[in-house]
Amino acid sequence: MTGSIFYWIAFVVTALAAVFAAVMVITRRNPIHSAMFLVLNFLCIAVLYLLLNAQFIAIIQVMIYAGAIMMLVIFVIMLLSVEEEERRRKIPVPLAQMLGMVLVFILFAQLIFGVVVKVLPGEQGEFSPERIAELGDVKTIAGLLFTKFLFPFEVASIILLVGIIGAVILSKKER
């Protein structure tokens, strides 16, 4: 399947769309536009997940990221009525930002070098796509979540609880 021409075209289109959306996110001056392109980016990544045979994650990517979190972000943008960033900066390009760009470029080069040149280590697992298809994606993940990853699962629940409490305390008006 991965060798089919349809797969190839699907990958190229969604990958390009994702990168394009990412570039638009950081270049739009209006935060609402940025947010919209971010939604597009998340949707593209969800498609990539589907290509990688991870249907469950693709679904929750759309539901949580593109749905819930971006909903929240747009709500906050509206609430704070943030205006567009002005076009001109007082100092055209600050030293720190130039340095930041250089660093980001080095980081990118390192990542590419890492994945292209270095042989990535890794053990073959027991869940081949055929096996997952046979067992069922969601069922398999749920099984692992409540057996092998029980402890991280509980920790994650605590993190969510802390997040809820933190949000409540932060947004509470001081008496």
Partner 1 sequence: MIDLVWLIPLFPAVGFLFNGLIGKWLDLDKRVVGSVACTALGLSFLFSILIFFSLLKLPPEARAAVPDKVLFDWIVSGDFKTVIGYKVDPLSIVMALVVSGVSFFIHVYSVGYMHDDPGFTRYFAYLNLFVFMMLTLVLANNFLLMFVGWEGVGLCSYLLIGFWFERDAPANAGKKAFVVNRVGDFGFLLGIFLIFAHLGTVGFNEVFAKAPSLDTATVTLITLMLFVGAAGKSAQIPLYVWLPDAMEGPTPVSSLIHAATMVTSGVYMIARCHLLYSMAPISMAVVAIVGAATALYAASMGLLQFDIKRVLAYSTISQLGYMFLAVGVGAFSAGIFHLMTHAFFKGLLFLGAGSVMHAMSGELDMRKMGGIWKRVPITFLTFLVATLAIAGIPGFSGFFSKDEILWQAFSSNHGHLYLWVVGAVAAGMTAFYMFRLLFVTFLGPCRASEEVKKHIHESPPIMTIPLMVLALLSVIGGYVGIPHILGGRNFFHEFLAPVLGGAPQGTEHAAFSLVRPVFASGGAAVGEGVNMELLLMGVSVAVAIIGICIAFYLYIWKTEVPKRLGERFKTIYTIVFNKYYVDEIYEVCFVNSTKKLGTFLWRRFDDGVVDRSVNLVAELMAWLGSVLRRIQTGYVQSYALGIILGAVIIIIFLIR
Partner 2 sequence: MPASVTPLYFFVVSALIFAIGAAGVLIRRNAIVVFMCIEMMLSAVNLTFIAAAHYLNSLDGVLMVFFVMTVAAAEAAVGLGIFVLLFRGRKTIRVDEINLLKW
Instruction: Check residue 103 for interaction with partner 1 (CB under 8 A).
Output: yes
Look-up of token digits 């971010």: 38
Single residue of 96, 119, 168, 169 touching partner 1 by CB under 8 A: 96
Instruction: Check residue 82 for interaction with partner 1 (CB under 8 A).
Output: no
With contacts defined by CB under 8 A, how many residues of the chain interact with partner 1? 13
Instruction: Check residue 72 for interaction with partner 1 (CB under 8 A).
Output: no
Instruction: Check residue 92 for interaction with partner 2 (CB under 8 A).
Output: no
Instruction: Check residue 73 for interaction with partner 2 (CB under 8 A).
Output: yes
Instruction: Check residue 97 for interaction with partner 2 (CB under 8 A).
Output: yes
118 binds, among partner 1, partner 2, none (CB under 5 to 8 A by kind): partner 1
Question: Where in 105-164 is the site for partner 1 (CB under 8 A)?
Answer: 106-107, 110-111, 113-114, 117-118
- Interface with partner 1 by CB under 8 A: which residues? 96, 99-100, 103-104, 106-107, 110-111, 113-114, 117-118
